[in-house]
Structure 1
Amino acid sequence: MQKTFFIISLLIVSFLNGQNTNPLLAPDAVAQQRWVDSVYTSLSVEERIGQLFVVDVFSSKGKAEENRIMKLVKENKIGGLIFSKGGPLRQAEINNNLQAASKVPLMVSMDAEWGLAMRLDSTYAFPWNMTLGALENNKLVEEVGYRVGLHAKRLGVHINFAPVSDINTNPKNPIIGNRSFGEDKYNVTDKAVAFMTGMQSAGVLANAKHFPGHGDTDQDSHKTLPTISFDEARIDSVELYPYRKLFSEGLASVMVAHLNVPALESRSNYPSSISEVIVTDLLQKKLGFKGLVFTDALSMKGASNFSEPGDIDLAAFLAGNDVLLISKDIPKACIKLKEAYDNNIITEERLAHSVKKILMAKYKVGLNDYHPVETNHLIEDLNTINDTLLYQKVMEEALTIVKNEKDLLPLRNLDKRKIAYVGLGDDSGETFVKSLQLYAPIDTISTERLDKMKEKLKPYNTVIIGLHRSNASPWKDYQFTEQELVWLYELSREKDVILDIFVKPYALLDLTSTTNMNAVVVSYQNSDIAQEKSAELIFGAIGAVGKLPVTANEDFPVNTCLTTNPLSRLKYGLPESVGMSSEKLKEIDVIANKVLKQQMAPGMQILVARKGTVIYNKSFGYHTFDKKIPVIDTDVFDVASLTKILASVPEIMKLVEEGTLSLDTKLVEMLPELKNTNKANITLKALLTHTARLQPWIPFYKSTLDKNNKPDTLYYRTKPEVGFSIQVSDSLYMRTDYKDSLYQQVFKSDLLPQKGYKYSDLGYFILKKYLEDHYKHSLDTLVQDHFYKSLGANHTVYNPLKEFPKVAIVPTEEDNYFRYTKVEGFVHDMGAAMLGGVGGHAGIFSNANDIAKIMQTYLQDGFYGGHRYFTPETIALFNTCYYCSKDIRRGAGFDKPEPDGHASNTCGCVPLSSFGHSGFTGTYTWADPENEIIYVFLSNRTYPTQNNTKLIKNDIRTDIQEIIYEAIQDPQ
């Protein structure tokens, strides 16, 4: 009954003094008090005093360090540990050993403000507080706090000295800076509460620091005693503002800083950490805080310079602190406190007050039922997909545009821009550049002289300048050098300049003028994810919603927020971000490796996108089986018949949409020379659905071979000559006029005797001829001008040797029947080769990323990158199975699933609304509007010979498609 009355009294007193409930009370408060009283009674005075001390432990220092701490545990009965530098497995082992030796379980703490990585290797680093301060969505901050808490708990950590609640109103602050949520007290408060809420919901006690406020000073309390020179009214309205809210929301503990605060403590240069006026009268009485009160590290110069070891500990305890953190000499301090107790300077009531609070906290975090840290899978548990997923979400919403003249961002009209990247700083911007290059051709320009830089940049109209400095810690250098500033000003005078800083916003204070900079982006950190997401923002894959958490320049005040809308370009993320399973998609790797092992193809690119996000994009194998050149993501493959839906079909769609053609248009209306042929009355619909009775294929090349089946000199030369300009291989040039003969063979070819479905390439010869006659330009030029350039499909071309070196082009065959050479950089299809590499049915070379852009355009009803290429009605017109009732699956140009749902050209698991195409060289792409999935598979299964059909016979492409659908984890 007496204990129950004590608990109720605690609740009432807490409510009256600022906290609605005592933050240290456990849900089973009666059992908690029983345990606290029992443990306290079992302790001697010396052991009770030992509970006040927390010693720092470095798992990086080896056995000698552990032995030093073990002695303090056994002899001084210390109450807690604060782990510092080291690694998680070493820390877990030391922790378990020390806990086993302690009479009362040790309360373990850490400084893990942005996660365990603040102190430990092999652990996850979440974004810094300054980055979180840019978020409008405080739920994300809460999620970060929760994930940090889960990691801490998994490692046996019970209290994390976070969140930093300092309001960083001084840009020159050497120790807070990035560790603060910003300079706006309301924003800082909201973020601190969210972080605290998340972490404490994970079962780890939060600690707000550095009371009464370390944000507005240019000195470091690790090295000296900083002064906070403001009056009491200012401190009350600004520095203390977050604490009131944190207390009311259940904050478990506070850390008192080593500060000289004349407005609060009259004694000159008297540290706040040992000031009874600040620790007891202000913090605990006036503000009503009932949780644990920690000193900041007593070994810091801000405190240790004040007194001898032991004296400072006693002064700190007498001032009202409950926990003495990192004493310089714990044995000496214990003696000092025991002497004070014996002399009644420290009363039993005072000692019990703090020790019982410590024990309450230990019960609350479960130390009444202690279990050692499990080391199995520890590293994996501290580095999960969910952590990276959250980091990506944070960066997407934190990136901040502070200047955007004439709505330069996001970049549009890529066909009109020639873009260069210039890197500043001393750290890598490689990830940023690679991410930018996913959207458009970006050239990196570097030189040591400004005049040479300006000369090299002459061909470019847009320059992206990135400032990259180390992301290793929030205290690293972040400012521009004088030379970098000169370069920035000079380059901004002549080009459209986008400045993107991957450091804290204060770097912009160095700019005396931002007049000539067209756009300025604050990306906050130089992590890979920050670089990736910043590239996505620049190109409009994501919108800008971040808000500047501090004043970064007179032109960029706190809370600056220039929002942009996405342009529906592909972005890049984790499968889980769009309801897919990373673990399931790993099975694609297994199949890909099977392909390589069984030599079904030398190399592959495989891409999966969902809901506008590329979630899987990998390259496998080599260009050839000799394994000399590995396939990389930027290599281009001969995509064979994918050309139909990547080039010819979109051009025809464009003309249908404009009203020039309709699906009922007859071929004679398109090409008058067909008037007296058997193809005159064939409709465009029949051609596109492969129901026009056209021959499947004509081996045009055979008629150009001599009796030895070698290229006949009547038709070929080994080098270009007048009248022999069509290059079909490295050293083989065909007669310029032969293409007319080729077309005539198509026009005069017989029709199949039976009506129905028969796949044919010949219709696309007709379409190519029509398109080039209509526009008076070759098809390769048309698709570049109409689609690829503006889409940013800069790896999609006919005749790739004009754009790329051979090392970037995957070969297709060792030709021993026509060209008698390795076919590399020249189209594999013989008919397309004889048309100069530009066919309506074949000839396109591309990579998986570019094909995904084109398919995503179809999936988005003709819209991509802020540009409408087709109307939804046009997409629907061509993506219709017109003859499904006759068991003909084809759409108008697009392949479709079998009407009965059986697997043949698909896995049988895709909806009937889906569409795509396959290619002879071992390529495949498919789009699913219902599930918003894009799938691209590229290979050179025809190398070294097209007779290698193992990839096709093993249904590799559709087996992978089935895995993709099995990976969907949407809630039912």
Structure 2
Amino acid sequence: MIKKTLSLCTLLFCFVSTFAQLSREAWVDSVFNALNTNRKIGQLFMLPVPIQGDAAALNEVRSKVKNEQVGGIILTGGNPLQLANQVRTFQEQTDIPLFVSQDAEGGLGMSIDSTVTYPSPLVLGAIRNDSLLYELGKAIAQQLKMVGVNLSFAPTVELNASTTLRYQSFGENKYRITSKAIAFMKGMTDQQVLACVKNFPVQSITVTDVQKAWPVIQPTVDTAQVYTFRKLFENRLTGFVPGSTDLPLFYTNMSLARKNNFSSQMLSSLFIGNWVKKNMNYQGLAFADLRNVPPIQEKNSEGLASLYALQAGNDIILYPKDINIAIRKIRRQVRRDKQLEEQLNNSVKKILAAKYDAGLWKKNTINTDNLLLKLNSPQAYLLNKKLQQAAITVLKNSDNVLPVSVLDNKQFIYITSDTTQKPDELFHYVSRYVHADRYALHQQSELTALAAGKQPLTCIIGIYPQTASEKLADLKKLLELFRKHDIILCDFGNEEFIRTAAQYPTVITAYTNTLEMLEAMPQVIFGGLTADAQLPMKISDQLQSGTGNIVPAINRLIYSTPEDAGMDSRILSKIDSIAKEAIRNMATPGCQVLIARHGKVIYDKSFGYLTYDKKTPVTENTIYDLASLTKVSATLQATMFMYEKGLIDLNKKASFYLPELRNSNKKDITIIDMLTHQAGLAPFIPLWPQTMKDTTFLPQFYSRKRDAAHPFPVAPGLYGSQAMKDSVWSWIIQSKMADKIPRTPYTYRYSDLGLMIMQHIAERVLNQPLDDFLAQNFYEPLGAYTTRFNPTDNQLSVQAIAPTEFDKIYRKKLIAGTVHDERAAMMGGVSGHAGLFSSALDLAKLGQMLLQEGEYGGYQYYKPETVRTFATKMYKGRRAIGWDRPVQSEWNSPTSLTASPLTYGHTGFTGTCMWIDPEFDLVYIFLSNRVYPDRNTRLISSNIRSRIQDVIYQSIFNYCVHSQ
């Protein structure tokens, strides 16, 4: 049966192929048979069109195209809309569709404005994965088709024979160049845009005497240089253009030389085509470029170069000097020479067949609606980003410093060789992984002091193209000072530096300092991105072509675009308007929204200001009070740790770990009941009134000065005593339980007290304060430097912290930098239910670790089964162990109704939330200070958080629909 099916498939394929070939031949014959000699000759020529030229110049070209029925045009300059409109006009003026060509190996952006420009060939030459070159060819072809271009003079295939960074070459290895060129070409031709490769390489030319009116030549070619052309020819390359350089020239017949005055430039431009066809079995189109052909010193020489080009076996003539005279000259010669007439007919048929292959047999409409949006699509920018990321080359990694896996107990510094880089994007993305101090190379005294210190340093040094020789000398001295520390040298195309790179232990090069490269370099350093590129050329005896260390990714967050994560960026932009609506309606003065999918941060935006006076804008570095997110981001993490290590049993009573509960009404509550809010604990008990008399802070509990007796921050300028912490704990123990029918379990009733009790269990079992334990075991290793209790005590600036409420009932002042929750404040800012602060990005690192089932940055924080146990729904309620979960198909769900049933997370009273959706591989974080300046409920009543989550899922669904 299988054999029959395969035979049928083969038969169908052969039938389709044969039918396509017959259709091609039928179209070519029908068009060819309608042509007279003049129109056949016209098909040989391609004229330049100065898109930005004056009207007279454009009208002249239009007239020639219409009257002479030329075969094609060559576009130069302009903008996309001009280009598309001109192409449409030109195509309407001829019966036979035109070849429309352009130099576009780097995309339309190489020669016109307002479009993406793809990386140079040198950068592409470093990429190991040739499938990306196919995608590039495909993307460029799609770009070109939008403006009506169907023939591109690309790819570039010249070998780099020197040790200089020649950006117009894929490199020096002929095999790698060939595979990349073929992949690129196939990407274009699969989209019906034809490829024509320039600069067929010739070393010298010998002219032989064969008693003809034009010379017969024997070129000397470099076999390595010609190898790529030969392989492209075998893969049905549409066309090639010889190089027109001044070459050594040898004549075997000096009279022939004197008679025709042939220069080497003329011979290489015009007379290579026939030799290539005969000696390399080339079946495609030979192009002759007349731009660099010097004037022929002969009477009535106008148009003679075009005639020579045809006689020498070329099929298409670019940039003719005088097309009218050239057509007349060729016509006269064709009438006299039957062999030339046959050659003309063959060339025209090949040209028409190529036009068929370009899809020109059918009418193609150029649609300029939203042209710029289509050309500058998210997919185009994503490909550009991926190409550049894939080209980052690790030249040296002698001490296996890369990727940097351990972040805690280290000091990171960043040194730039160019202080004019503003903004400094390299430093910006380094700071998304670690806290680093920034220095300039000229700050020698400060750096010398750092190098002499005892703390181990990791130094990341950015070296830019414009860094002068004297600064590189300073760098060499500096590296001597830092030789005992880890040094990572990041080159962005400084040729002088890269030649000496072999003497340093850790060197990465990006070849160029584009924004994409500056963003990608830290992602390679810290294990977000894999680096596997290879040096495309030799730069020193120690760094040969093909050099490149493979540095693996270690599952840290990376920074990309929505389309890279299967999301529609245009749908996602609706979040902006929802966030702005919240600010406009005074639901919150500002907020942060972060979305990560498939381990990629694809949306990270800040809106509004810290307060309504609009003095300090919210940035990605703004720190928010997480409120009840503390329950899951702090206390639950300690609980999961203890559970996994066998230090606690979730089904045991809390009193087993806290003997002081054994004589209380809480003696029988279990840990799992507390974590699922089914322990019968009171939902809320105000504790601060017991520490005050009317509006006076009782001196046994408070002081206006921080001292040994009053170490705990309650509010700016107000500190609590140890006695107050002890009293709060005793009041929790004495608090009432909920009423219930005897011998029946408690029902779900949300309470902070269970997590407050859980803090005490954790600190008793771990023998360590909760905040210290979490910082050492989670936040610092994750690189979550802003995720802290009491942020100002941890060297975080109060100016970076969004203020919460103007507390009118307890502290009588604006709360900024200390916890909003009154009971957490009474406990010195560290409580099981509230007190944690963070930026959205640092909180996302914790969320991503949980989404990756306990693994992040190469370290396994939990076993996967631990994460699953706590995230699984318990009992009949919606809650998991500690986590909140969606309520499917119910209006009062805390999440979007489109969130998957596997989603888990939590919200916070200050206007925060974190939701983790394993089914969609998604982390969503929203942070705000909606309680500023008072506890308004507009953020809740207008469903801002869940509406943003609706858009997230809509973006995923929309991408899935449109990517089919």
- For the structure 1 residues 888 and 356, does the alpha-carbon distance in structure 2 shift closer, same or farther, using more than 3 Å as the test? closer
Q: Tell me which moved more, 408-417 or 887-896.
A: 887-896
**For residues 697 and 287 of structure 2, what CA distance do their matches in structure 1 show?**
88
Structure 2 residue runs of 5 or longer lacking an equivalent are: 1-16, 205-217, 741-745
What's the CA shift for 1:924? 1.0
Is 1:106 equivalent to 2:94 in the alignment?
no
- How far does residue 414 in structure 1 lie from its aligned partner after superposition? 0.4
Measured after TM superposition, the shift of residue 458 of structure 1 is: 6.0
| Partner deviation per Cα, 1:143-200 (whole Å, 9 max, x = no partner) | 1101111111111112000011222232348xxx223222111111111111111101
SS in structure 1 at match of 2:956:
coil
Taking the aligned partners of 2:644 and 2:132, their CA distance within structure 1 comes to 44
Query: What do residues 920-972 of structure 1 show as CA deviations (whole Å, max 9, x unaligned)?
Result: 111111112232221111121212211x1122233332233333333334589
Q: State the match for 2:787 in structure 1.
A: 796
Identity of aligned residues (%): 35
Task: State the secondary structure of the residue aligned to 1:560.
Answer: coil
- Asked if structure 1 preserves the Cα contact closer than 8 Å seen for 2:306 and 2:317, the reply is yes
Cα contact 2:889–2:897 (8 A) shared by 1: no
What's the counterpart of residue 466 of structure 1?
462
Q: 1:958 aligns with which of 941, 946, 953?
A: 946
Kindly indicate whether residue 774 of structure 2 is the aligned counterpart of residue 783 of structure 1: yes
The residue aligned with 2:314 is: 321
Query: Distance between the aligned counterparts of 1:172 and 1:58, measured in 2?
Result: 34
Which amino acid in the other structure matches residue 623 of structure 1?
A: L
Q: 1:563 aligns with which of 550, 553, 558?
A: 550
Return 373-382 or 674-683, whichever deviates more.
Answer: 674-683
Shift of the 35–801 alpha-carbon distance from structure 1 to 2, 3 Å rule, reads farther
**1:304–1:312 CA contact under 8 A, matched in 2:** no
SS of 1:419's equivalent in the other structure is strand
Find the partner of 1:34 among 29, 34, 48: 29
The question of 1:295 aligning with 2:281 is answered no
Check the 8 A contact 2:174/2:227 in 1, yes or no: yes
Q: 1:163 and 2:152 equivalent? A: no
Name 1:408's counterpart in structure 2: 401
Amino acid at match of 2:193: V
Alpha-carbon distance change, 737 to 59 in structure 1, aligned in 2, over 3 angstroms: farther
Q: Is structure 2 residue 853 aligned with structure 1 residue 861?
A: yes
1:734 alignment counterpart:
720
Query: What is the rounded CA distance, in whole Å, between the counterparts of 1:250 and 1:287 in structure 2?
Result: 12
Preserved contact between residue 167 and residue 213 of structure 1 (Cα < 8 Å): no
Partner residue, 1:131: 123
The correspondence for 1:847, drawn from 839, 844, 850, is 839
Which secondary structure does the structure 1 equivalent of 2:277 belong to? Answer: helix
Partner of 1:583: 570
Measured in 1, the distance between the counterparts of 2:824 and 2:249 equals 85
AA of the residue aligned to 2:88: N
Q: Which amino acid in structure 1 is aligned with residue 486 of structure 2? A: D
Q: How does 1:570-969 map to 2 (within 5 A)?
A: 570-707=557-694, 709=695, 711=697, 715-720=701-706, 723-754=709-740, 755-775=746-766, 777-802=768-793, 803-882=795-874, 884=875, 887-898=876-887, 903-946=892-935, 948-969=936-957
Contact 1:272 1:278 in 2 (8 A): no
The letter for the 2-side match of 1:503 is: G
Q: Is the 8 A contact 1:462 1:496 kept in 2?
A: yes
CA shift, 1:869, in A, is 0.9
Q: By how many angstroms is 1:256 displaced? A: 1.0
- By how many angstroms is 1:284 displaced? 1.0
Q: What is residue 430 of structure 1 aligned with on the other side?
A: 424
1:841 offset after TM fit, Å?
1.2
Local SS of the residue matching 1:737: helix
Retained in 2: the 8 A contact 1:257–1:273?
A: no
Give distance in 2, aligned partners of 1:376 and 1:899. 42
Instruction: Give the direction of change, closer, same or farther, for the CA distance of 1:273–1:779 in structure 2 (3 Å limit).
Output: farther
Contact 1:397 1:546 in 2 (8 A): yes
1:418 partner letter = Q
1:251 to 237, 250, 271: 237
The letter for the 2-side match of 1:202 is: Q
- Answer yes or no: is the 8 Å Cα contact 2:579–2:607 preserved in 1: yes
Distance 1:250 1:527 in 2: 35
Helix, strand or coil at the partner of 1:686 = helix
Deviations 1:199-251 (A, max 9, x none): 0111111112221369x9xxxxxxxxxxxxx995x723x11111222112121
Residue number in structure 1 paired with 2:13: none
Q: 1:700-726, CA deviations, whole angstroms, 9 ceiling, x for partnerless residues?
A: 22233342x354566444444664443
Which residue does the alignment assign to 1:242?
Answer: 228
Cα deviation for residue 377 of structure 1 reads: 1.2
With structure 2 as the length reference, what TM-score do the two structures score? 0.87
Tell me what 1:227 maps to.
none
* TM alignment of 1:322-401, pairs within 5 A: 322-327=315-320, 347-371=340-364, 373-401=366-394
Q: Is the 8 A contact 2:75 2:101 kept in 1?
A: yes
- The one-letter amino acid of 2:341's match is E
Residue equivalent to 1:11? none
User: Is the alpha carbon distance of 1:616 and 1:665 closer, same or farther for their aligned partners in structure 2, counting shifts above 3 Å?
Assistant: same
1:27 and 1:797 map into 2 onto residues whose CA distance is 73
- SS across alignment from 2:35: helix
Q: CA deviation at 1:306?
A: 8.6
Distance 1:733 1:590, change over 3 A: same
Determine the structure 2 residue equivalent to 1:154. 146
8 Å CA contact 2:398–2:505 kept in 1: the answer is: yes
Show CA shifts across 1:794-852 (max 9, x none): 22122223433333211212222222222222211111122222222111111221111
Question: Within the alignment, does 1:519 sit opposite 2:502 as a pair?
Answer: no
Check whether the contact 1:40–1:356 (CA below 8 A) recurs between aligned residues: no
Partner of 1:219 in structure 2?
A: none
Change (3 A) 1:346 1:185: same
* 1:394 to partner: Cα distance: 2.8
| CA deviation profile, 1:106-125 (whole Å, cap 9, x unmatched) | 32110001100010111122
Asked if 2 retains the 8 angstrom alpha-carbon contact of 1:601 and 1:951, the reply is yes
Contact 1:641 1:841 in 2 (8 A): yes
Distance of 2:701 and 2:756 partners within structure 1: 20
* Change beyond 3 A, Cα 1:819–1:67: farther
Deviates more, 1:923-932 or 1:321-330: 321-330
Q: Cα distance, 1:758 vs. partner?
A: 1.8
**Matching residue of 1:499:** 489
Instruction: Report the equivalent of 2:442.
Output: 448
Distance 2:838 2:233 in 1: 59
Q: Give the whole-Å Cα distance in 2 for the aligned partners of 1:75 and 1:274.
A: 30
Preserved CA contact (<8 Å) 2:888 2:897: no
Give the deviation of 1:82 after TM superposition. Answer: 1.5
Equivalent positions of 1:258-269 (< 5 A) are 258-260=244-246, 262=248
Question: After superposition, what is the alpha-carbon deviation per residue over 1:269-328, rounded to whole angstroms, capped at 9, x for unaligned?
Answer: 9546634996244311111222222234x334xx44897985655544443333332345
Aligned length: 908
Q: 1:786 to 1:897 in 2, by over 3 A?
A: same
**In structure 2, what is the Cα distance between the partners aligned to 1:262 and 1:240?**
18
**Corresponding residue SS for 1:744:** helix
Query: Is the contact made by 2:578 and 2:948 (CA closer than 8 Å) also made in structure 1?
Result: yes
Aligned-partner Cα distance in 1 for 2:624–2:237: 59
1:226 maps to what in 2? none
